[in-house]
Amino acid sequence: MRMLVAYFSCTGYTEELALAIRAELESRGHEVVVEKIKPAVTYSWLREAARDFPRYPSIIFSLVSASWKEHHMRTYNQVEEDIQALRYPDISEFDRICVGGPKWAQMSYPVARYLQIVRGIRGKKVGTFCTVGGPPLPVFEEEFVFEPMRRLLERMGAQVVGRVCISSAYHAARLMPLFRLISRIRFHRPIADFLLESEYGKTGVKDFCTAVEQ
Ligand SMILES: Cc1cc2nc3c(=O)[nH]c(=O)nc-3n(C[C@H](O)[C@H](O)[C@H](O)COP(=O)(O)O)c2cc1C
C-alpha cells in the first residue's frame, strides 16, 4: 500500500516516532511518504503554552471530576497555528494516513491546523500517534490528544484504526521529577519503560502498524 506519515515535532521526539513508524511500515513492504508539518513561525515553548493557559484549569479539574471532563470534551476548544505550505495538500492518493505530534496539553496546534486544511481525507483509514513528556496515562495523556483527533477526523469522514502514545521523558517546563513520580505511583515502573526504544515502545509501534495496515 502507499501510505503517508504526516507529523509535527518541535524538539525531535515525535520525529523519531514518525520515522520508526515509517521504517516498520517499509519493512512490511509498503511505500511510505513523509510529510513534516512545519509551523509558519517558531515560538518559544512558553509562548505556545501560554496560548492555551485559559483551558489549563479546566483540563486539571477534568482529572478529578468525570462530569467536568465530559463537559470539557463537549465544549472543547482547540488552539491552532499557521503552518507552512504542504508537500501533499491533497492526500486522496494514499491508501493509509498516519498523523501525529507531541501532546501540547491537548492536540499540538500545527497538527490541529493540518487536520483542518488537508484535503482528500474523507473515507480514509487513519492511525494517530503522539509523544508525551509524562508516562502514557490513558486518561490525562492519551485521551486529551486522541479524543479530539478522533472526533475531528470522524467529522471529516475518516476512520481512526490505530493509535500509539510513547513517552519522550522530556518536558521543556522541567516537569520530569513530577512525571517520574507519577510513573512510579500509577504504573510502578520507571518512565524509561515507556520510551520508544523500550519494549513498550517497540511493541507499540508494531501493533500500531498492524492496525493501520488492516
Ligand atoms: C506547550 C506544551 C505543552 C505540553 N503539554 C504536555 C502535557 O500536557 N503532557 C505531557 O506529558 N507533555 C506535555 N508537553 C511535553 C511534550 O509533549 C513532549 O516533550 C513531547 O515529547 C515533545 O515532542 P517533540 O520533541 O516532537 O516536540 C508539552 C510541551 C509543550 C511545548
For the chain, the domain total comes to 1
**157 close to ligand 1 (CB < 6 Angstrom):** no
* Predicted local distance difference test score (pLDDT) of residue 209: 98
User: How far is ligand 1, taken at its centre, from the CA of residue 45, in Å?
Assistant: 9
Which residues of the chain have a pLDDT value below 50?
none
Name which residue sits closest to atom 27 of ligand 1, judged by CA.
10
DSSP 76: -
* Predicted local distance difference test score (pLDDT) of residue 169: 97
**123 close to ligand 1 (CB < 6 Angstrom):** no
Atom of ligand 1 lying closest to residue 13 CA: 25
This prediction has a pTM of 0.97
Range of the domain at 186: 2-50+78-213
DSSP 85: P
Percent of the chain clearing pLDDT 70 (strictly above): 100
* Predicted local distance difference test score (pLDDT) of residue 63: 87
Neighbouring CB atoms inside 10 A of 149's CB total 24
Q: Is residue 62 part of a domain?
A: no
Atom of ligand 1 lying closest to residue 8 CA: 26
pLDDT, tens digit, 9 for 90 and up, residues 72-98: 988 888 999 999 999 999 999 999 999
CATH number, domain of 45, equals: 3.40.50.360
Q: Residue 192 in contact with residue 158, Cβ under 8 Å? A: no
